[in-house]
Each structure stands twice: as C-alpha cells, then as structure tokens.
Amino acid sequence: MQLVEPRPSRPMPIRITPLIDVVFILLVFFMLTTRLLPVDYLELGNNTDSRGMSTGEPLPELVVAADGSVRWQGEDYPLEELVSALTAAGIGEANLSTAPDTALADFTQTLSALDGAGIEAHWQRSRNDS
C-alpha cells in the first residue's frame, strides 16, 4: 500500500516573477541606502611627503578664524592684507589650518586667494582629542 502518490515525471516549471520582484526590491533598497559622494565637502590632497626639508626653515602657519580673518605671526589679517603681506615677505608656501568653528566658505575663499597669489597651501585635518 502506497501512502504518498509518486511525483509526476515532468519537471516543475520555475516561476520567475517572484524572483524579479525580490531583485527589484533589493535594487531599490541599495539605491536608497547607499551613500553617494557628499557634495558639501572639499576633497583635498594631504600628500606632503614629497617635500624635502633641505632648507630647514619651517613653513608659516596660517589659521583661518571663524570670522574669516587669518592669523599669521600672532596677528589677525583680513584676507586681502594677508595675501599682500605674504607676497611682500616672499613666501611661496604655507601651512593652512582652521579653527574648529570656521565655515567651509571662509576656508575655501582663503585657499582660493592663496592659490591665486601663487602661494601653495598645505592643509591637514586636525585630529579630535575627544
């Protein structure tokens, strides 16, 4: 006595519609959760390893403050005065950093002004101590 009927000899067709639905849902999920390149950040190269220390003189330190002024040698300069002072001093390279509350617009404006005057600025992100 047979309790279970034998399987039919023809193969069962694979239904592809549910598979397409699952693939579409996964596609939508990954499209919505994938983070694209942020457009509100400025990507800068921090490669200063190729610079040689042949002269032994340190580069001037420029710090962009929150109000847009730039501190150099203990004095705050408006951007126009800073560029002319650096050019008059014959400075062609400088290290550029920012105060923690400096706006990105002030940083990029300073970087553009230095670049326009022919002064190469090296920028390195500050590490958070917290």
Q: Establish if 78 belongs to a structural domain.
A: yes
The whole-number pLDDT of residue 22 equals 93
Cα 118 to the chain's mean position, in Å?
Answer: 23
Mean pLDDT by 10 residues, the chain (130 residues): 72 84 93 71 59 64 86 86 87 85 86 87 62
pLDDT given at position 23: 94
The answer to whether residue 71 sits within a structural domain is yes
Q: Is residue 104 situated within a structural domain?
A: yes
CATH for 117: 3.30.420
pLDDT of residue 54: 54
Indicate whether 40 belongs to any domain: no
> What is the tally of structural domains in the chain?
1
Kind plus residue range of the DSSP H or E element containing 36: none
* Domain contains 84: yes
Query: Domain of 100?
Result: 61-123
Structural domain includes residue 10: no
Residue that the structure tokens 């617009």 belong to: 105
